């Protein structure tokens, strides 16, 4: 028996699906997107919708599921969130006007890195697609946010076929949703390295030809309509061209339309920014809280006081990329200062910004032909605010704030003002979301449209009058004129009165309780009404598309203006944060000094409840106070002091005021941290391995211009190993290139305080603690001098450890501290510690661990008969005792 032939519709589906094997195909059928076969099984499980089937009675029914097209965005978002790609296949013809199978085609492919719909995006974050490429000597990344048009690239030297760690770290910092790699990359020596680095992210493999440099360059030249890439600064960046060209290829294959909002690519050099590696960024909780993995309890949560989504994304970028150019830092600081001193103008700016939509994403969406009437209204309302905003900004002195740096500012404002007026004149404020059902264009904008509208309205008025007239003439009280898409206009009469209708009524349909009729006159009027309505809808859509095209032609102006507004919003946001939190303007010095007077941790001070934050002062230089060794108990606040210094430097170099009474900051090239990160268990790495990797990164890459933060290095291994590593690292950083590096080094290894005696730039500090009645109070104050007390038992009590454990710990500690270390700690009196026999056995065994070798040595000595011993026997016994002694440590 031959296999059953597929229907024409299924043949069409399978043909289209063949080109999109890696995506779930949303196949438009009327008011639904349908999915079939494996797509349906997968999608139904993720979306938690019913899985049904076509041809249920067949031996092999076809699995299917569907979602309403008006609610598709929510379902697509869920699929994308689960790592799927979605190919949207639309009907390209009107089904009602088409005989046979409707033509369909995929109009776009939505992937984690190719999202335009703002409802699927985080408004405060970019949604980057990243491509990685490498040549023999250079490796590069390029990344694009299709929703904003942001397109950037950087490259670094590559050795031994590996991707440089600094480039991988930069790629992690970009936090792309999707990574593009050449299909042959699985054979590359760097493949394992990349898979490990981007674990959990969407990896998409393109044909290796998409990365060919010459082809990639041609795509870039065609895209930007230029003869060379010199104007963008990437002409001689082969690896960057390769990565950027691959991105453009992917965009063309998934979006299938022009992307006029992508009008430039911006190269940058990592050396032009303060580098904070991905782990340090996490350790300092700059963007993400380590425990909750969200924004609350992070630096960005404190500093992001922006109003617009554009400003929020930009402030995040400033935090990721602090500056090292002193003039640029001072320019930002001066802007923030100007705004803080003009509180009235500042409030007016805030009020204007509240009416500005996300121009970056609006402009990008419209330029790709996906904007609807409501998007144009939002654009119009935003553009209307520009003259008022520029008027307030003109009162400032800084060119950054006044917009003097914008080329042809007046012409741009004039053009955008005209565009805003056009939208206001043409598009209805209450225009619907759907574009092909009318109601888009204002009355009076188009005479032809008004004529069609009049016909439609007059026709409907005739229908209403006809109903009243027919009721009166026929005396049929149940008579009503109705409309539906199947029959058009018709007269409905109850069953009881159906026999009384006039002879010229033509029966159309019989219902249970009523009869439906039409008349020749009604059909003629209906034809006029519906024909006018169809023509009106088509004309409205055409007018709308013309206006949208005019907006698209101004896409670059809109996006340049959006960039300016984002900068203004970011600067006013920093000014807001400074005013609300009593920050001060830092001095940027050339003396290689970090001096912070009464500094505070910007996040901790906002989170503590019922306790006054204790500020601390720090001075670091290259002469006497280059390496601060900080001791003190857990919970005293060592880590807070360390982090607050790093965050203060970062804030100063991003152009922000800082949480201190006074601050003078030198420019640093990198901030390194090792502050007790969480175990990386998911990748099979222990705490100690993570610690050593971070330490290796620091000692291999720190320079005299760096700032190093080390917290409890070496505690993930045995005491002596840990102390040895900590000591060696401390000496290395102090002696680096015979100049050293600015370091804050917190430790429990009190032996390290002796470094102050031998290393000239080491200074001991501790966190002050007040003792009374065997209890302690943390004063949170950083004071000069080291300490040899850990207060571990007191801290354990504060943490809620039971008294029975505390008392036993104190007893063991007193024994250990006695001069004769061979004494075995004796059990506590019964009245101080009660225990079961099982607990007693455990305690005895624990004590024996400390004394087994001592007992063995004692027994050996007792058995020796010195008078009968030969010299050789004495030497053997002495060697045996020595080995046991070594085991004792």
> Which run of H or E residues covers position 390?
helix 386-393
Mean pLDDT is lowest, of 30-34, 192-196, 316-320, 791-795, for 791-795
d(CA 93, CA 301): 49
CA 277-193-675 angle, to 5 degrees, is 30
Q: Which fold has domain 587-791?
A: Rossmann fold (3.40.50)
Predicted local confidence at residue 875, as pLDDT: 60
Give pLDDT tens digits for 406-417.
Answer: 777 888 889 999
Predicted local confidence at residue 710, as pLDDT: 92
Of 626 and 191, which is predicted with more confidence?
626
- Residues pairing with 481 in the sheet: 491
Give pLDDT tens digits for 275-303.
Answer: 998 889 988 999 988 888 888 999 999 99
Determine what percent of the chain is predicted with pLDDT higher than 70: 86
Quickly state the pLDDT bin for 3 (edges 50, 70, 90): low
| Residue 283 to residues 286, 297, 301, 694, Cα–Cα distance (Å) | 8, 13, 16, 11
d(CA 664, CA 652): 9
Quickly state the pLDDT bin for 189 (edges 50, 70, 90): confident
Cβ-based neighbour number of residue 508 at 10 Å: 14
Following CA atoms 266, 267, 268, 270 in sequence, which dihedral angle do they give, to the nearest 10 degrees?
130
- CB contact burial 762-791 (16+ within 10 A = b; e otherwise): bbbbbbbbeeeeeebebebbbeeebbeebb
**Numbered ranges of CATH 1.10.1420.10 in the chain:** 447-533
Mean pLDDT computed over every residue of the chain: 85
Provide CB contacts within 8 A for 324, sequence distance 6+.
Answer: 272, 273, 274, 653, 667, 669
Following CA atoms 784, 785, 787, 791 in sequence, which dihedral angle do they give, to the nearest 10 degrees?
-10
Quickly state the pLDDT bin for 850 (edges 50, 70, 90): very low
Determine what percent of the chain is predicted with pLDDT higher than 90: 49
Predicted local confidence at residue 643, as pLDDT: 94
* Phi, psi (degrees; rounded to nearest 5) at 792: -60, -40
* Phi, psi (degrees; rounded to nearest 5) at 4: -70, 135
DSSP 625: -
Helix 386-393 and helix 409-426, axial crossing angle in degrees, nearest 10: 150
Within its chain, how far is the Cα of 673 from the centroid? 21
Q: Is 810 helix (H, G, I), strand (E, B) or coil?
A: helix
**Numbered ranges of CATH 3.30.420.110 in the chain:** 123-272
Give pLDDT tens digits for 369-421.
Answer: 888 999 999 999 999 999 999 999 999 999 999 988 777 788 888 999 999 99
d(CA 605, CA 581): 9
Q: Is 105 helix (H, G, I), strand (E, B) or coil?
A: strand
d(CA 678, CA 289): 12
Predicted local confidence at residue 793, as pLDDT: 66
Predicted local confidence at residue 842, as pLDDT: 39
Quickly state the pLDDT bin for 681 (edges 50, 70, 90): very low
Helix 309-320 and helix 359-367, axial crossing angle in degrees, nearest 10: 110
Superfamily of domain 8-110: DNA repair protein MutS, domain I (3.40.1170.10)
The answer to whether 853 touches 884, Cβ cutoff 8 Å, is yes
Q: What is the mean pLDDT of residues 700-714?
A: 90
User: Residue 814 pLDDT > 80, yes or no?
Assistant: no
Predicted local confidence at residue 665, as pLDDT: 97
Provide CB contacts within 8 A for 802, sequence distance 6+.
Answer: none
Quickly state the pLDDT bin for 873 (edges 50, 70, 90): low
Predicted local confidence at residue 828, as pLDDT: 56
Q: What is the mean pLDDT of residues 670-685?
A: 63
d(CA 516, CA 494): 9
The closest of 677, 655, 663 to 321, measured between CA atoms, is: 655
Give pLDDT tens digits for 251-273.
Answer: 999 998 888 889 999 999 999 99
Q: Is 394 helix (H, G, I), strand (E, B) or coil?
A: coil
Of 51 and 851, which is predicted with more confidence?
51
Give pLDDT tens digits for 117-131.
Answer: 888 888 999 999 999
**Numbered ranges of CATH 3.40.50.300 in the chain:** 587-791
HSE on the CB side for 117, CA within 13 Å? 15
**Numbered ranges of CATH 3.40.1170.10 in the chain:** 8-110
The answer to whether 706 touches 741, Cβ cutoff 8 Å, is yes
End-to-end CA distance of the chain: 85
Predicted local confidence at residue 578, as pLDDT: 97
Q: Is 166 helix (H, G, I), strand (E, B) or coil?
A: helix
Largest CA distance in the chain: 146
The closest of 384, 405, 407, 408 to 396, measured between CA atoms, is: 405
Predicted local confidence at residue 482, as pLDDT: 87
Tell me which long-range contacts 826-835 makes (C-beta under 8 A, separation of at least 24). Answer: 832/807, 833/804, 833/807, 833/808, 834/804, 835/804
Predicted local confidence at residue 823, as pLDDT: 47
User: Residue 483 pLDDT > 60, yes or no?
Assistant: yes
Q: Which fold has domain 447-533?
A: MutS, DNA mismatch repair protein; Chain A, domain 3 (1.10.1420)
Give pLDDT tens digits for 771-810.
Answer: 666 666 667 788 887 776 666 666 667 667 787 877 777 7
Give pLDDT tens digits for 435-470.
Answer: 777 788 888 888 888 888 887 777 777 788 888 888
The answer to whether 317 touches 300, Cβ cutoff 8 Å, is no
Strands of the sheet containing 129-134, edge to edge, are 202-206, 178-182, 129-134, 138-145, 150-157, 266-267
The answer to whether 323 touches 653, Cβ cutoff 8 Å, is yes
Q: Is 107 left (phi over 0), alpha (psi -120 to 50) or beta?
A: alpha
The answer to whether 127 touches 115, Cβ cutoff 8 Å, is yes
d(CA 185, CA 179): 12
Give pLDDT tens digits for 158-180.
Answer: 876 678 888 988 999 999 999 99
State both tokens at 519.
């008349």
Tell me which long-range contacts 838-844 makes (C-beta under 8 A, separation of at least 24). Answer: 843/808
Provide CB contacts within 8 A for 408, sequence distance 6+.
Answer: none
The answer to whether 756 touches 629, Cβ cutoff 8 Å, is yes
The closest of 630, 660, 637, 633 to 647, measured between CA atoms, is: 660
pTM of the model: 0.82
d(CA 676, CA 291): 13
Predicted local confidence at residue 837, as pLDDT: 42
Quickly state the pLDDT bin for 885 (edges 50, 70, 90): low
* Phi, psi (degrees; rounded to nearest 5) at 110: -100, 125
- Residues pairing with 507 in the sheet: 517
For 123-272, CATH number?
Answer: 3.30.420.110
User: Residue 838 pLDDT > 60, yes or no?
Assistant: no
Q: Which residue has the tokens 């492919």?
A: 109
The answer to whether 554 touches 419, Cβ cutoff 8 Å, is yes
Q: What is the mean pLDDT of residues 601-628?
A: 90
Q: What is the mean pLDDT of residues 858-886?
A: 64
Quickly state the pLDDT bin for 325 (edges 50, 70, 90): very high
CA 848-850-851 angle, to 5 degrees, is 65
């Amino acid at each position: 028996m031959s296999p059953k032939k597929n229907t024409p519709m299924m043949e069409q589906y399978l043909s289209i699906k063949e080109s999109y094997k890696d995506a779930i195909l949303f196949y438009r059928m009327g008011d639904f997107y349908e999915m079939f076969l494996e797509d349906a099984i997968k999608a139904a499980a993720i979306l938690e919708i019913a899985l049904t089937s076509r041809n249920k009675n067949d031996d092999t029914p076809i699995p299917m599921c569907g979602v309403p097209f008006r609610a598709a965005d929510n379902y697509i978002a869920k699929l994308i969130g689960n790592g799927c790609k979605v190919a949207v296949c639309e009907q390209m013809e009107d089904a009602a006007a088409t005989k046979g199978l409707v033509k369909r085609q995929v109009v776009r492919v939505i992937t984690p890195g190719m999202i335009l719909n703002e409802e699927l995006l985080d408004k405060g974050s970019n949604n980057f697609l990243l491509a990685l490429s490498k040549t023999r000597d250079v490796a590069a990344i390029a990344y694009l946010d299709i929703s904003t048009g942001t397109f950037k690239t950087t490259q670094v030297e590559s050795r031994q076929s590996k991707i440089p760690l600094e480039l991988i770290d930069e790629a992690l910092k970009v936090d792309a949703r999707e990574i593009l790699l050449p299909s042959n990359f699985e054979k590359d020596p760097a493949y394992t390295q990349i898979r490990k680095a981007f674990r959990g992210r969407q990896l998409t493999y393109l044909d290796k030809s998409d990365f060919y440099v010459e082809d990639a360059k041609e795509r870039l030249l065609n895209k930007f309509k230029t003869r060379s890439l010199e104007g963008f600064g990437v002409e001689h960046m082969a690896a960057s061209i390769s990565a950027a060209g691959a991105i453009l290829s992917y965009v063309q294959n998934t979006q299938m339309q022009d992307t006029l909002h992508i009008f430039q690519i911006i190269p940058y050099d990592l050396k032009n920014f303060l580098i904070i590696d991905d782990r340090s960024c996490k350790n300092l909780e700059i963007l993400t809280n380590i425990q909750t993995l969200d924004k609350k309890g992070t630096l960005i949560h404190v500093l992001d006081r922006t109003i617009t989504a554009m400003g929020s994304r930009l402030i995040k970028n400033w935090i990721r990329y602090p500056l090292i150019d002193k003039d640029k830092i001072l320019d930002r600081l001066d802007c923030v200062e100007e705004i803080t001193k003009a509180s009235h103008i500042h409030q007016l700016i805030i009020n204007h910004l509240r009416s500005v939509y996300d121009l970056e994403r609006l402009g990008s969406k419209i330029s790709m032909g996906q904007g609807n009437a409501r998007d144009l209204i939002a654009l119009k309302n935003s553009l209307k605010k520009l003259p008022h905003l520029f008027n307030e900004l003109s009162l400032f002195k800084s060119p950054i704030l006044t917009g003097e740096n914008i080329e042809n500012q007046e012409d741009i404002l004039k053009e955008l003002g005209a565009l805003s007026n056009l939208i206001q004149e043409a598009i209805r404020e209450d225009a619907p979301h759907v574009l092909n059902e009318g109601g888009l264009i204002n009355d009076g904008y188009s005479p032809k449209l008004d004529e069609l509208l009049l016909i439609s309205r007059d026709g409907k008025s005739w229908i209403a009058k006809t109903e009243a007239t027919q009721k009166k003439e026929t005396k049929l009280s149940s008579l009503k004129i109705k409309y539906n898409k199947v029959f058009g206009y018709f007269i409905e009469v109850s069953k009881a009165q159906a026999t009384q209708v006039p002879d010229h009524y033509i029966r159309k349909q019989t219902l249970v309780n009523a009869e439906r009729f039409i008349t020749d006159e009604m059909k003629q009027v209906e034809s006029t009404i519906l024909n006018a309505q169809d023509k009106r809808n088509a004309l409205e859509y055409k007018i709308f598309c013309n206006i949208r095209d005019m907006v698209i032609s101004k896409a670059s102006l809109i996006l340049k203006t959006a960039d300016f507004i984002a900068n203004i919003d970011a600067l006013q946001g920093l000014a807001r944060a400074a005013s609300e939190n009593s920050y001060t303007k830092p001095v940027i010095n050339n003396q290689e000094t970090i001096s912070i007077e009464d500094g505070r941790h910007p996040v901790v001070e906002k989170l503590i409840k019922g306790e006054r934050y204790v500020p601390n002062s720090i001075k670091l230089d290259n002469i006497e106070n280059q390496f601060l060794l900080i001791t003190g108990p857990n919970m005293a606040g060592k880590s807070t002091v360390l982090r607050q210094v790093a965050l203060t430097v970062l804030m100063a170099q991003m152009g922000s005021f800082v949480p201190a009474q006074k601050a003078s900051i030198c420019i640093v090239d990198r901030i390194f941290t090792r502050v007790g990160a969480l175990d990386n268990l998911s990748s099979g790495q222990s705490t100690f391995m993570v610690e050593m990797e971070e330490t290796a990164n620091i000692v291999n890459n720190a320079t005299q211009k760096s700032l190093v933060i080390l917290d409890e290095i070496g505690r993930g291994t045995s005491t002596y190993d840990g102390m040895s590593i900590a000591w060696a690292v401390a000496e290395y950083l102090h002696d680096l290139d015979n100049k050293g590096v600015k370091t804050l080094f917190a430790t429990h290894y009190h032996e390290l305080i002796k470094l102050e005696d031998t290393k000239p730039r080491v200074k001991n500090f501790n966190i002050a603690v007040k003792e009374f009645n065997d209890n302690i109070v943390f004063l949170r104050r950083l004071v000069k001098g080291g300490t040899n007390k850990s207060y571990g038992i007191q801290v354990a009590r504060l943490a809620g450890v039971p008294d029975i454990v505390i008392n036993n710990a104190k007893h063991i500690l007193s024994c250990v501290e006695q001069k004769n270390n061979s004494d075995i700690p004796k059990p506590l009196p019964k009245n101080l510690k009660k225990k079961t026999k099982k607990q007693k056995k455990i305690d005895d065994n624990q004590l024996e661990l400390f004394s087994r070798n001592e007992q063995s040595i004692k027994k050996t000595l007792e058995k020796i008969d010195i008078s009968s011993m030969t010299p050789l026997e004495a030497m053997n016994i002495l060697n045996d005792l020595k080995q046991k002694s070594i085991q004792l440590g």
